[in-house]
Structure 1
Amino acid sequence: MNKTEHYDFLVKLFHSAPINKTIFVGSDMSLSDGEAKYELTVKEEFFHGGEAMHGAIYFKLLDDAAYFACATEVDDYFLVTKSYQIEFVRPVMGGKLTAKGKLLKADENGFLASSEILNEEGKVVGKGEGIFVKSRKPMPKLKD
């Protein structure tokens, strides 16, 4: 499969996840070589009791952006997150967020990627870095 077909498959995979069809419905993912962009409009359902976005949502955006940046380079096995470290930079009260992931390094031990979340003003609201490794689950082949 060529790169475009692989990216299309990954985007379909992203949208087919039950969590993205329910809780994160309306989110969008775009891919290029070693990079991913995840866009999401903040909903009140994402808030904790302090009326700002819960850290779980930061993690989802950051992890997915980094994961899919790595996945652009892998078409044989699914990847899993081995570790991910987050820095919360500022609270989010609403608006549209863009998470950008970038593959930093790939070797026999796995994939290192970084990601950051930007608000509508282009300010970083969260960032992080993670390690992703191949699982034992083979990636299905695209069907015509």
Structure 2
Amino acid sequence: MQSEAGAAAHFRALESLYAAAPINGLFESRLSIVESGVARIAFMIEPRHYHAAGAAHGTSYFKMLDDAAFYACNSLVTDLFLLTTAFNLLFTRPLRAGPVVAEGRWISGQRRVFVGEARLIDADGEEAARGTGTFMRSRIALASLPGYGS
């Protein structure tokens, strides 16, 4: 079992890893791991994220839901990077420009496969989407990744 200080250091290192990922240059977003098994990503939807009909494209939904569920699960694993093996997504309402929060939670599993869920909450406090993913341990050491712990 990890100490509170060790867990907090791991959470901050994962937040740094998220910020260092090149894909996150496309989205104004910030990851916060608030406790073991819980992650939140605050981000902005902008018109540049829209599809032809004037609302956020599904890539924005998927990316943020996957990331929130992934980091909630990886908060429980201190040595290896997890990989998404499957993700199911349910769209419930369109997102337009403004702030959104992706809330991710670990649901089950702690050996090889983890299950996490996430939901998107828009500026009005309404759920815009939810998803469930499975994540498995890779052979990639977290400590070897640029950004982890920087």
Give the TM bin, normalised by the shorter chain.
over 0.9
The answer to whether structure 1 residue 28 and structure 2 residue 25 are counterparts is no
Q: Could you say what secondary structure the match of 2:26 adopts? A: coil
Residue of structure 1 in register with 2:65 after alignment: 62
Q: CA RMSD in A?
A: 1.6
Query: Is the Cα–Cα contact under 8 Å of residues 98 and 123 in structure 2 kept in the other structure?
Result: yes
Pair 1:119–1:36, CA change in 2 (3 A): same
TM-score, normalised on structure 2?
0.90
The answer to whether structure 1 residue 75 and structure 2 residue 78 are counterparts is yes
Unpaired runs of 5+ in structure 1?
none
Q: How far apart are the structure 2 equivalents of 1:17 and 1:134? A: 19
Report 1:126-137 matches (<5 A).
126-137=129-140
The answer to whether structure 1 residue 17 and structure 2 residue 18 are counterparts is no
Q: Could you say what secondary structure the match of 1:140 adopts? A: helix
Query: Offset of 1:143 from its aligned partner?
Result: 6.7
Query: Offset of 1:45 from its aligned partner?
Result: 1.0
The answer to whether structure 1 residue 6 and structure 2 residue 10 are counterparts is yes
Task: Output the amino acid matched with 2:75.
Answer: T
Q: Could you say what secondary structure the match of 1:2 adopts? A: helix
Q: How far apart are the structure 2 equivalents of 1:104 and 1:43? A: 31
Task: State the 4+ residue runs in structure 1 displaced beyond 2 angstroms.
Answer: 141-144
Q: How far apart are the structure 2 equivalents of 1:108 and 1:12? A: 25
Of 126, 129, 137, 1:123 maps to 126
Once the two structures are superposed, residues 32-62 of structure 1 have per-residue CA deviations (whole angstroms, 9 ceiling, x without a partner) of 2100000111111100111110001000010
Query: Is the Cα–Cα contact under 8 Å of residues 89 and 130 in structure 2 kept in the other structure?
Result: yes
Percent identical among aligned pairs is: 31
Task: Output the amino acid matched with 1:41.
Answer: M
Query: Is the Cα–Cα contact under 8 Å of residues 12 and 149 in structure 2 kept in the other structure?
Result: no
Aligned length: 142
Query: Offset of 1:124 from its aligned partner?
Result: 0.3
Unpaired runs of 5+ in structure 2?
none
Q: Could you say what secondary structure the match of 2:61 adopts? A: helix
TM-score, normalised on structure 1?
0.93
